[in-house]
Structure 1
Amino acid sequence: MFGPVQITSGGLEIREFQPQDADQVAAFVAADDRTALPPGSPPTVADVNGWLAGTVRRRLDGDGVLLAIADAASGEIVGSIGLRDIDWKAGRGEIGYGVLAGRRGQGHASTAARVVGRWALTDGGMRRIQLRARLANVASLRVAEKAGYQREGTLRMADWDGEKAHDMAVFSMVTTDVEPGDATR
């Protein structure tokens, strides 16, 4: 089980989705713009409240965390980040993120990936956090590098988009890469 997550860094608040986020999440769903929401986001506006409750259950069950990336000043959700594919025995998980198209290029994804990775390796009890990105997704590759993840190699034909296979770069951050209490740097 993961403890509650609330990290402030670089003008962002990275925190659990909360009931008061229902209107913002519903607006994303209604506009069919899921770039700020994690995979598995609610399919309809009617499903938003149940989905928000499920994000807390996921954390409490130890299955991972789904976090909002919010502007610390306005509270506006600009993206999301999460840990999934948790293996408690191996002490590893995988990080994924998304940012609204109009808020990209401002360092939000790299800040969130850095601090959430460090939180997972210190307070979260993990030993290894992995990040994968398609080789063609240059922006995501840059995010991983800026966030301090080490590139380990290429997973050939490891992702399928429904039409063709894609090579994936694999990055990691491990406990020896961070100091205890290092989550907000």
Structure 2
Amino acid sequence: MKIISGALEIREFGLWDADQVAAFLAAEDRTALPPSSPEVVGDVDEWLAERVHQKRLDGQGVNLAIVEQASGEIVGSIGLRDVDWEAGRSEVGYGVRADRRGRGYATEAAGAVGRWALTSGGMRRVQLRARVDNVASLRVAEKAGFQREGTLRMADWDDGEAHDLAVFSMIATDLETAQVAR
């Protein structure tokens, strides 16, 4: 799977990414990697060869690299998780390297993956949840074309505290409305 959107290539991780993934782990910067990424550099090759693809192979989602086309650098990761094929529903999650934030990469990737999931990906609904105190993620969701639906009160637990989550969604009719507006 590969999506070209703006200045980004959004694609599956592969063995060709070993040096970049190892560098992130060596620098203890996991912000550009999905939650399933390895803990240590020695596990990078196995993860890239097998484990990163397991979610897709099991029909549970996909982990994708967000790559800056001009430089070939991985600037983040994005994925679909919690896939329910019968309901046609999944959730998008993403992370962008701290030194690449503020450039619109998360917005571009979230919108592109949401649109792909609703067209080629077989989904009817893609949702996104973000902590209500994470203003940057709230803006990403809105700018990417997701519609805010409400708040899940005290639904997230982080650092010994409960936090509210904003819930956003994108459905096929949102794409049709966006086309008409152009």
Larger CA deviation: 150-159 vs 41-50: 41-50
Q: 2:145 aligns with which of 122, 142, 148?
A: 148
Residues 1:60 and 2:51 are matched in the alignment: no
Deviation at 1:60, TM superposition (A): 2.2
Q: Superposition pairs for residues 3-152 of structure 1, below 5 Å?
A: 5-52=1-48, 53-152=50-149
User: How many Å separate the matches in 2 of 1:124 and 1:56?
Assistant: 16
Structure with greater proportional helix content: 2
Deviation at 1:143, TM superposition (A): 0.2
Deviation at 1:50, TM superposition (A): 1.8
Unaligned residue ranges in structure 2 (runs of 5+): none
User: How many Å separate the matches in 2 of 1:176 and 1:70?
Assistant: 29
Please give the per-residue CA displacement for 1:38-90, whole angstroms capped at 9, x wherever unaligned.
11210111111122122223212211100000011111000000000111111
Q: TM-score, normalised by structure 2?
A: 0.94
Please give the per-residue CA displacement for 1:134-173, whole angstroms capped at 9, x wherever unaligned.
0000000000000000000000000001401000000000
User: Where has structure 1 moved over 6 Å in runs of 4 or more?
Assistant: none
Contact 2:152 2:164 in 1 (8 A): yes
User: How many Å separate the matches in 1 of 2:170 and 2:47?
Assistant: 29
Partner SS state of residue 56, structure 1: helix
Deviation at 1:30, TM superposition (A): 1.1
Unaligned residue ranges in structure 1 (runs of 5+): none
Identity of aligned residues (%): 71
Q: TM-score, normalised by structure 1?
A: 0.92
Deviation at 1:10, TM superposition (A): 1.2
Q: How many residues align?
A: 176
RMSD value, Cα = 1.1
